[in-house]
Structure 1
């Protein structure tokens, strides 16, 4: 659904209420027939690895531009859309492994090509969260009236109409798998964590917190952007294998940068107690109550790190992490880039917590991927807005 104009406060609330009045659609989808993946990029590669952990075979993958090897992850054949016989299109489940482009045109293309059973891949993983705790395919029920009021309060508090549009797009997908778009609020793939307003506010004396550092890619980008304007980096990553990669990245840095970088194999949390954690899932590793493994947690408030710019992407634990970070944030008033798409806290609880805890900030929301993913809340303290 396309909307020509950005919604102001009143219009955004009206659009939200209209969304609530519409019938909800969609549900987690189990694999009950041969499985084919559409898309052999990064998401397709990760999906193939995760289906292997679930012992769900993948018949093949489809991509308009197959890799030179003709294989996904070294073993799954990758074919072009025209290579699939009509019988397979009728009898298979095709899971779309693309979030760098709108879902509906892909779905329509596949339907017109004869595919009958088409679903976003994250909706498939959502059916197996008891075994594999993915956090991107969740559905939410219509919120209670008190929650609706809280959502409306957040819609009112955004600093620009583009944020209201992004918030509505996010809710439309999560409530009913509706794909809304606003030409003046585009999904931006290339500037996640570093939208222009954040970059404009950067100073010559930054201390960067990279919570959920994975292999160090975002910290490396900060080094490239800021060079000697960056005085220190604290990179936190709880997954043991991810941390090994992060530590290798750190050790490969010049000595002058190693002096400024600290890496910690911890989870950022509301308390310093350890917590159940499902490791070994790459980017998808996360806290999970049913896991037999545990990870050490730490509060940023217990560290002496003078953060001026914080990126927090911790697979659904963002709100818990913020609760152990609030005193530091209130004292240091850093720039903030906080992901909010891994669970329903992102609909209002996480932005509302930030807006209440940190007054005199300018709050924005932007989307950096499709299918309800890539939603990031940005905070810029008023005193740095005109830096």
Structure 2
């Protein structure tokens, strides 16, 4: 029997992919995933890339990649993985993997994967397309609508680098020489480091960093990183860190976390099983400081969070970088909200990962 290995983060698509591949008489012997904390799925082991040589030393089958590898980082990772196989293998790119096994996407949709859901308001989605400033953004929005209906991989844009400060969106020009940065869904401060270094190359210096991160482990990593930065490269900056989420109301919610993934849940029944956290309204907390840049990746709470930022947006007119992929309706409800509350702004959208994941809406104030 032929053997196969699936490379990429474990999720409904990859698990369905296993089932589809095995239906063709090919035995999936393992998943390779550096993120998940799971050890196996339906009896199939999940290993890290550094465990390939130990666990797959005699493997000579098929290797299915589940993500595009157009940029240097991903190309290097693919080469790293393939270099660890000692025997000849047959390699399928992300496009080939899901083209010959497209049934996996439809099965994942049927199982309730909202990133593949066709349950959205197509009329409203089409109506917001013309709110975007450039043809590239409008094309991305149109392809998102078509992909949701057809699950045709040729419609998916290749991921772009420089998430939150892309090269072809006028983010940098709209940020002042000394800027104040609000990081919502800060994780471990990775976006702070990227933005700090990127903007410093253009003569921009961080004044104040305000970060919200509700998940306990992530917040601990954030605090640890900030303490180190305060002793080294960020001695003169001011910091405010809150272990909290953001919304348009004060509430308690629960968090499901796995590896680098988190999901915020507001159903009361989930409180006993998962970590608890609370949300705050930023308009009530942030005063007497101009906010210049807001990054928002809050696991589906983006619209409530924006509603809790209306005063800040109106008074400071910051650049906004908002995740647009956690819920299907985000693709039109968030642009609709911004169009109503962000006067004299230009809107752009860019895709920074696979299957429209890490899609970000950039709202850039005119003449700032």
TM-score by length of 2: 0.73
Question: Cα deviation per residue 1:88-109 (whole Å; 9 max; x = unaligned)?
Answer: x7xxxx985425559xx73564
Deviation at 1:239, TM superposition (A): 0.5
Question: Cα deviation per residue 1:4-26 (whole Å; 9 max; x = unaligned)?
Answer: xxxxxxxxxxxxxxxxxxxxxx9
Residues 36 and 178 of structure 1, relative CA distance in 2, 3 Å threshold: farther
- Within a 5 Å distance, the mapping from 1:303-382 to structure 2 comes to 303-304=285-286, 305-382=289-366
In structure 2, the partner of 1:106 is 93
Deviation at 1:29, TM superposition (A): 4.0
C-alpha separation in 2, matches of 1:285 and 1:126: 23
Residues 343 and 36 of structure 1, relative CA distance in 2, 3 Å threshold: farther
Q: Which runs of 5+ in 2 are unaligned?
A: 1-12, 72-91
Name which of 45, 51, 55 aligns with 2:34. 45
- 3-state secondary structure, aligned to 1:164: helix
Question: Cα deviation per residue 1:229-285 (whole Å; 9 max; x = unaligned)?
Answer: 21111111111011111111011113454751221110011212222322x324321
Q: Which runs of 5+ in 1 are unaligned?
A: 1-25, 130-135
Matched, 1:193 2:164: yes
Matched, 1:202 2:175: yes
- 3-state secondary structure, aligned to 2:207: strand
Deviation at 1:200, TM superposition (A): 2.7
Name which of 263, 269, 278 aligns with 1:286. 263
C-alpha separation in 1, matches of 2:196 and 2:94: 39
In structure 2, the partner of 1:70 is 52
C-alpha separation in 2, matches of 1:36 and 1:375: 32
Name which of 213, 217, 238 aligns with 2:214. 238
- Within a 5 Å distance, the mapping from 1:216-231 to structure 2 comes to 216-227=189-200, 229-231=205-207
C-alpha separation in 2, matches of 1:60 and 1:273: 37
- The question of whether the paired residues in 1 share the 8 Å contact of 2:160 and 2:353 is answered with yes
C-alpha separation in 1, matches of 2:276 and 2:246: 13
Residues 110 and 193 of structure 1, relative CA distance in 2, 3 Å threshold: closer
- The question of whether the paired residues in 1 share the 8 Å contact of 2:65 and 2:97 is answered with no
Matched, 1:160 2:134: yes
C-alpha separation in 2, matches of 1:168 and 1:214: 31
CA RMSD, 1 decimal? 3.6
Question: Cα deviation per residue 1:114-133 (whole Å; 9 max; x = unaligned)?
Answer: x868746x975994x8xxxx
- The question of whether the paired residues in 1 share the 8 Å contact of 2:95 and 2:153 is answered with no
- The question of whether the paired residues in 1 share the 8 Å contact of 2:176 and 2:292 is answered with no
C-alpha separation in 2, matches of 1:125 and 1:258: 49
